[in-house]
Chain A
Amino acid sequence: MVTMDARCPKCHKIATFSGKPGERIKVTCPECGNWGWVTFNGSTSDRETAIEVSHLKKIYGELAAVNDISFSVRKGEIFAFLGPNGAGKTTTVEMIESIRQPTTGDIKILGEDIQMSFDKVKEKIGVLPQEFLSFERLTVQETLVYFSNLFQRHANIDSIIVSMDLKTSENMLYKNLSGGLKQRVGVAIALVNDPDIVFLDEPTTGLDPKARREVWEVIAGLRKRGKTVFLTTHYMEEAEYLADHIAIIHKGKIIAEGSLDELISRYGDESILRVKNCKSKGTIDILRSHGFEVKTEGNGNIAVRIDYKERVLEILSILKHECVDYDTIDIRRSNLEEIFLKLTGARLSEGAT
């Protein structure tokens, strides 16, 4: 059994809960009675863990760029390391990739301690460094062959080209590719050795929304192929769209961790279903009689607090049954930007300071 402290999003009191490592349980705040979900950290078996980081620190002079962080990444999941610029994302991922030397801490990849045996791990990982640019005067195909030749373990280059949707560009020189295509080639390079784990450090930074979406589809495809993906990003939408598990880092510390639903239920405000321009009188009383917390807003709008998602269907059923006349229904729940704002007092896009 392990114990874990969790802050109640409603009354902000901290309570301690017990559970098994990796277990997810529903808990109730002893102060205000608010409830939510908690997932217990702690080591799971090596069979399930792709990356395990313990008490990792990186100190530059008096600045702690990464300050005693611990987390683990499960095999086959997309793990997003989310934080503003300067939060310590790249420093962390580059320590995991053995590009930087940690000040203290332990890192295991696929059960191997990288301080001792990173060479053993190199064949099993693929890396797209931050702001990576490949050799300008090689074609896409030549680039992939070049990097593939550096490994003992190979993936089929043609199938990578097809799966990354690079077929029409395979004979173009790298320098002539668009930003989005260059990033796709960067991801493709990270796959030439058929890695078990793919590290993508801010793969969509600087891309336009269309190109970003294309790269997202490529990354989502990696999960389908059974790859573990360690993704760093400062785009909240990217983490929301792609990640199975999100760790939010701020000023070198992990301030929240869990799936998107867990983070929202733990740190977000309650979800609100809004019935817009409700013309039927008595609707508020009907909903209250079914135990809902209801508020009236201007313009005839009614706001209903949603405790859990099953209650949405219940509301819709009531509205239909009572023949309530309204224009539209809108459901709104907290997003990562709001959670970050709530936890740090700063916006993700504003940076770490």
Chain B
Amino acid sequence: MNLKFIKTDLILGIKSWLRSKGTVFWTILFPVLLIMIFGAIFSDTGNIEYDLVVQDLDDSELSEGFVYILKNISILTIIEIDIDEDITEYMLDEDKSVALQIPEDFSEKLQAYFVNTNASVNLTFYVDPSEQTTTGVIKSIISGMLYEYNMGLTQGKTVIGLEEEKTLGQNFTYIDFFVPGMIGFTIMTSMIYGSIERNTKYRKDGILRKLLTMPVTRAEWILSKMLFMLFLSFISTFVIILVGVLAWGLNIQINIFFFVIVICTSFMFSGLGMIIGRFVKEEETADMAGGAITFPMMFLAGTFFPLDQMPDFLQSVARLLPLYYVNEGLRNAMIHADLDKTLFFTGFVVAFTLIFFIAGVFLTKWKED
């Protein structure tokens, strides 16, 4: 492996990038503009409110206190229903996607805890499976609230359980959900356009032919370009997060899965760009080819609109798109902090990455016919 070449080529990429106002614009200023515009749109409308149906079967002082806390969460609108109501029928009739049922033995189990620390009680969380975005959000909020509640009651031991959900910040706004989608979308566009344009332009300018006559391997060339593309991905991502935090007070988590998904996404869409670049010979058609791939994916993969709002057949289409798994993986890693789902979506992202990148590397051709 010629490390000197990789270093030289990486420096070339960064220098050329810094000297191109247009490219710098698309990498930095465009995401900034997007987040400022969408931030302004969604922050003006205030926090999104979600309806939560609550049925208190216990009807005790303790359970009423618990409901009172739920009512104080600004993002939730609590709809209390009678104990005689069938909760699932009510949800169906009233078109509600989420409900929480407090069991009859709620106060009894809580009081029992102070005698026997093994005692615990589970709340039942009813969800409409077709409304994944909304239920995910509310589940995260209740998990956070339960975490605080358990902390106050037992200094950490779980007395009241729900699902294995982690806590979530309570100042939760739409922009928090928007940011992971925007990161995925930005990486996708810069990787796909970058790959296609590089391949077509370098082919047209004879640079690929020139490299064929020089002591550089295709693997070294692709690796150096990937390092440069990763550099661009992280620049875009951190600009989005930084501006989001400073301007809109984003409430997100950065963890190892975030990095894994960002790196995989960069390789995945570069691979896809290489595959397209193999078939697009003209520089002029590169933009069209890139647009043909990125625009449908942007709208169908739940980048700006929740998947739940789309017809069933489009949701099925979305589940075939790699960007959907990137968006959901990033949301679960950065917002929901749901390890199971994060692993699930990250697994798909890694699988797509392997397929596209390996196919891209093998299909990229330097030699002329």
- Listed in ascending order, the chain A residues whose CB lies under 8 Å from chain B are 60, 94, 97-101, 119, 122-123, 125, 127, 129-138, 142, 145-147, 149-152, 173, 189, 199
Contact = CB atoms under 8 A, between A and B. Distances in A.
Contact of A125 (B19, B213, B368): B213
A135 B15 CA distance: 11
Nearest to B2: A150
Contacts of B369: 60, 100
A60 B369 CA distance: 9
A137 B215 contact: no
Given A100-B367, A146-B12, A199-B213, 17 more contacts: A60-B369, A94-B368, A97-B209, A97-B213, A99-B209, A100-B369, A122-B214, A129-B210, A132-B209, A132-B210, A133-B206, A135-B16, A137-B15, A137-B16, A147-B214, A150-B2, A151-B215
B214 A151 contact: yes
B367 A137 contact: no
Contacts of B214: 122, 127, 147, 150-151
A123 B209 CA distance: 16
Interface residues on chain B, size class: 20 to 34
A130 B216 CA distance: 20
A341 B207 CA distance: 36
Given A137-B20, A173-B19, A99 B213 contact: yes
Contact of B8 (A134, A149, A189): A149
Contacts of A98: 212-213
B89 interface: no
B44 interface: no
A98 B210 CA distance: 11
B50 interface: no
B5 A137 contact: no
29 contacts: A94-B209, A97-B213, A98-B212, A98-B213, A99-B209, A99-B368, A100-B368, A123-B215, A125-B213, A127-B209, A129-B206, A131-B206, A132-B206, A132-B207, A132-B209, A133-B207, A134-B205, A136-B16, A137-B19, A137-B20, A138-B15, A146-B8, A146-B9, A147-B214, A149-B4, A150-B216, A173-B19, A189-B210, A199-B213
Contacts of B215: 119, 122-123, 150-152
Nearest to A175: B19
Question: Of residues B20, B213, B369, which shows the largest number of chain A Cβ atoms within 10 Å of its Cβ?
Answer: B213
A142 B15 contact: yes
A100 B365 CA distance: 12
A137 B9 CA distance: 13
A189 B5 CA distance: 16
A129 B209 contact: yes
B10 to A, nearest CB: 11
Nearest to B210: A129
A125 B214 CA distance: 8
B206 A150 contact: no
Nearest to A193: B214
Contacts of B5: 149-150
Interface string B171-205: 00000000000000000000000000000000001
A122 B213 contact: yes
Nearest to A129: B206
Contacts of A60: 369
Contacts of A142: 12, 15
A129 to B, nearest CB: 4
A138 B213 contact: no
A130 to B, nearest CB: 7
Interface in B203-242: 205-207, 209-210, 212-216
Question: Of residues B2, B15, B215, which shows the largest number of chain A Cβ atoms within 10 Å of its Cβ?
Answer: B215
Contacts of A135: 12, 16, 207
B19 A99 contact: no
Contacts of B209: 94, 97, 99, 127, 129, 132
A127 B210 contact: yes
Interface in B11-35: 12, 15-16, 19-20
A94 B19 CA distance: 33
Interface string B316-332: 00000000000000000
A134 B210 CA distance: 10
B15 A130 contact: no
Contact of A150 (B8, B16, B20): B8
B99 to A, nearest CB: 59
Nearest to A120: B215
B363 to A, nearest CB: 17
A122 B215 CA distance: 6
A118 to B, nearest CB: 9
Contacts of B216: 150
A133 B205 contact: yes
Q: Which 6 A-B pairs have the closest CB atoms?
A: A129-B206, A132-B206, A137-B19, A133-B205, A149-B8, A137-B16
Nearest to B220: A150
A282 to B, nearest CB: 64
Interface in B38-95: none
Question: Of residues A135, A138, A150, which shows the largest number of chain B Cβ atoms within 10 Å of its Cβ?
Answer: A150
A150 B216 CA distance: 7
Contacts of A147: 214
Question: Of residues A99, A127, A134, A138, which shows the largest number of chain B Cβ atoms within 10 Å of its Cβ?
Answer: A99
A128 to B, nearest CB: 8
A138 B205 CA distance: 15
Nearest to A199: B213
B223 to A, nearest CB: 14
A147 B206 CA distance: 14
Contacts of A130: 206
A201 to B, nearest CB: 9
B213 A127 contact: yes
Given A129-B206, A138-B15, A173-B19, A99 B212 contact: yes
